Amino acid sequence: MATPLDAAGGPIPTSAALTAASKHIGASCLSENVAFLKCKQKDPNPERCLEKGQQVTRCVLHLLKDLHQRCTKEMDAYVGCMYYHTNEFDLCRKEQQAFEKACPL
């Protein structure tokens, strides 16, 4: 199953795509996520942290597009497996290894 794409050609951030890319998101979008969490701790008003949240979203969407361009076949296989097996990592280890080899952290 191919990763679903939006009109601009970027992968749609489904739960399977986000779960498959979770290690990359954690590494690549760390500063944006930390800034967002600090903002939320400082002020419980959701409006105060909208910009920080948008920065996290931009980072993740950019990363997903980059990963999909660099290792399309491996990402599609891994995301497809995660989708089929309802995001169960244990059932997709072969696809995960191929994806992480093609697109290392």
Residues 8-47 pLDDT 10s: 777 789 999 999 999 999 999 999 999 999 999 999 898 9
Residues in the chain: 105
What pLDDT does residue 14 have? 93
Question: Does the model's pTM come out above 0.75?
Answer: yes
Q: Residue 67: which of 15, 3, 7 has the closest Cα? A: 3
Give the torsion through C-alpha atoms of 92, 62, 12, 56, to 10 deg: 90
Which residues are paired to 11 by β-bridges? Answer: 5
pLDDT tens-place string over residues 36-78: 999 999 998 989 999 999 999 999 999 999 999 999 999 999 9
What CA–CA distance (Å, rounded) separates 64 from 37?
21
pLDDT at 5 over 90: no
